[in-house]
Structure 1
Amino acid sequence: MNINDLNLFAAVAFHGNFTKAAEAMCTVQSNVTARIKNLEEEFGATLFLRTSRKVELTAAGKTLLHYSRQITNLIEEAKLSIGKSDMIKGQLKVGFTETTMALKGPGLVTEMAEKFPLIDLDLTSAMRDKLINDVLNYRLDAAFIPAPVYNEELEHIHIMDERIVAVTPLKFKSLDELLAQPQLKAIVFDEGCFFRARLENWLITHDITNYHKTVMHSIEGVVNFIESGIGFSFLPQDIISTFYHERKIKTFSLPPEIGAVKTVLIYRKDNLSSPMLKAFISLFSSLKLQLNMQQ
């Protein structure tokens, strides 16, 4: 076994597919298959469950992935300690919800480039639950998600407080008027969206369990449909004030239990030995742990 074997193993775990792992590692599938087989023989355990569609880690595979990440982090630390350069170099995978990506992504990339120019950021957006799962399974190094977080394997840093507002067409003068419609229409994201969940909880408090849903897959699409008078939605106040303040839409405040949101940065506790993750977290160590980025 060598470090390249562990890198190939981690690639298969990340992609869930031998062919994709081979492409990512610039090798052939037969080599990946052979190296994984050698690892399984060396450890005396099956590392992946293979199906016709994908491969999944076994319990033994998850254990090895945990140690593999620690070994990789130790090697990076050693390079910094005894190498000629003290510059941190590598790739960091960070996840966001789509709204947080739109607000904070550009500023974050700029600040990382200024302070840690040799760290490449790989940014991705997804629903909250997927981001948590990807951090837990080492597919992401860190992720920005709405709190709360309940998992003993994860650490989190409070990043900022946000407000969710109801966004409606111009014709509505109040939320009471909106709720009084014969058939309430909402523009929402897919199941699993944090803002959709808050919207549905709010409707339940008003004894509304059935409403017409139009599912969109982008913030721009949601705003366009609201402006067209099709329905309403819940979005962060900062998104509207930053990007859509000139649009023909209206916003209404919500009660704190619905409208208040805490955004946190999550990462695995056992991944904190990563020099790149440490560098990333250091960006948020200023007063009140607020993002020092564009507002």
Structure 2
Amino acid sequence: MNLRFLEAFLWVARLGSFHGAGEKLNISQSGISSRIATLEMELDCRLFERSTREIRLTTSGRLLVQHAERILEAHREMRDALARNSAVTGTVRIGSIETVVHTLLVPFVEALQQHFPALDLELTAEPSENLREHLRRGGIDIAFQTEPVLDPGTINKPLCEYRMGWIASADIGRISLCDLAREPIITFPRGSQPYAAVEDAFRRVGTVPNRLHCVTSIAAIVRFVRAGLGVASLPIAAIRQELAAGSLSLIDTDVPLAPLRLYASYRPGLSSRLHDLIVEHAEQQVAAYCASEDHPTDIRSLSDQEL
């Protein structure tokens, strides 16, 4: 059971309002409604009686309040115990795709330092395929990458999906994908999720790009595009500063790119509870980003969905 669903339920019960619970948790009213609906479906019972004037707990809802409070209190106690300096020491090795480096990594690491001040971090940024192999071989503890790792016992948590966009050095207005195929296209390496999305987009209009360049680094792709060496497919969240400054522009096309999905993957073991908490911090940073007024559609949270 998702603890965030229980938290949303308790705040609706306490405040008697979906809107008030949303304000308390800094998420939309529709997000609260979705969490309650999912919780009711999972428990196979109605938790609230809804009328035009008030929201009241059902008998099942009143019973759940007691259990939910105990569950969340136990969870808080566990987190407090793990967050003590003497309780969490050592090194956690985290591997991440570069998109996370350009978006969520700094607030994520800040949160980890605040909650686990005695914990040492080893961070590496590599393509997803490399990160999955490092995880299999035990070279890293947690991988933030683009596909579930299907090895037995591996835990995969969907975090979010990044909106992808066609990017140019200047505003060229609306253009068909067939016309865009005449330009040099720059994307991530073969075998990556963005590369497959580019291939699929052109396949849908029955064409292929004249030239397709594969580059691992987002920073390098940005430099190539700014130099006029082609147009690129990039996560919009990773280049917000360049878009705001006008050094890069979004291209309006007739075929959108599939989003870039992000998963947190790790293997259970002696430190798996700590890894659970670290991934929870990542989920919180995703939620905070999604709630930001500056970037409301760059990233869509997937942490409330099942694989």
When normalised by structure 2's length, the TM-score is 0.59
Q: Which residue of 2 aligns with 1:207?
A: 206
Name the SS for the 2:157 alignment partner.
strand
CA deviation vs aligned residue, 1:80-114 (integer Å, no higher than 9, x gap): 99xx9742101111111111122122112111110
Q: Which deviates more, 250-259 or 111-120?
A: 250-259
Percent identity between the two aligned chains: 18
What amino acid sits opposite 1:184 in the alignment? E
Is the deviation greater in 258-267 or in 88-97? 258-267
Residues 1:186 and 2:224 are matched in the alignment: no
Distance 1:192 1:182 in 2: 20
Amino acid at match of 2:166: A
Q: Any conservation in 2 of the 1:88–1:275 contact (CA below 8 Å)? A: no
Residue of structure 2 in register with 1:250 after alignment: 249
| Separation in 1, partners of 2:196, 2:117 | 38
Q: How many equivalent residue pairs?
A: 210
State the shift of 1:244 in Å.
Answer: 4.2
Is the partner of 1:180 in helix, strand or coil? helix
Partner of 1:131: 131
Q: What secondary structure does 1:140 align onto?
A: coil
Q: Find the residue that maps to 1:191 and give its secondary structure.
A: coil
Correspondence 1:220-259 to 2 at 5 A: 220-252=219-251, 258-259=257-258
Could you tell me how far 1:278 is from its partner in structure 2?
A: 3.8
Q: Is it true that 1:142 corresponds to 2:146 in the alignment?
A: no
Distance change in 2, residues 1:132/1:200 (3 Å): same
State whether structure 2 residue 125 is matched by structure 1 residue 122.
no
Separation in structure 1 between the aligned mates of residue 113 and residue 226 of structure 2, nearest angstrom: 37
The answer to whether residue 275 in structure 2 is matched with residue 277 in structure 1 is yes
Match of 1:168 in 2: 168
Aligned amino acid, residue 192 of structure 2: C
SS of alignment partner, residue 135 of structure 1: helix
Deviation at 1:240, TM superposition (A): 2.0
Tell me the amino acid that sits aligned with residue 262 of structure 1.
Answer: R
Change (3 A) 1:262 1:85: closer
Unaligned runs of 5+ in 1: 1-79
Give 1:248 shift.
3.0
Structure 2 residue runs of 5 or longer lacking an equivalent are 1-80, 296-307
Query: Given residue 260 of structure 2, which amino acid in structure 1 is its aligned partner?
Result: V
Structure 2 residue 259 is matched with structure 1 residue 260: yes
* TM-aligned CA distance change 1:182 to 1:290, over 3 Å: closer
After alignment, is 190-199 or 88-97 more displaced?
190-199
Query: Residues 134 and 255 from structure 1, CA distance in 2 versus in 1: closer, same or farther, beyond 3 angstroms?
Result: farther
> What is the alpha-carbon distance in structure 1 between the residues aligned to residue 129 and residue 248 of structure 2?
30
Aligned to 1:152: 152
User: Counterparts of 1:169 and 1:243 in 2: how far apart (Å)?
Assistant: 10
Deviations 1:111-158 (A, max 9, x none): 111000111111111111221121122111111112455443321222
Q: Tell me the residue number matched to 1:102.
A: 102
**Whole-angstrom CA distance in 1 between matches of 2:223 and 2:200:** 24
Contact 1:162 1:237 in 2 (8 A): yes
Change (3 A) 1:119 1:276: farther
Q: How many angstroms does 1:174 deviate by?
A: 1.8
Q: Distance between the aligned counterparts of 1:250 and 1:193, measured in 2? A: 23
Amino acid at match of 1:144: F
Deviation at 1:238, TM superposition (A): 0.7
Distance of 1:218 and 1:284 partners within structure 2: 22
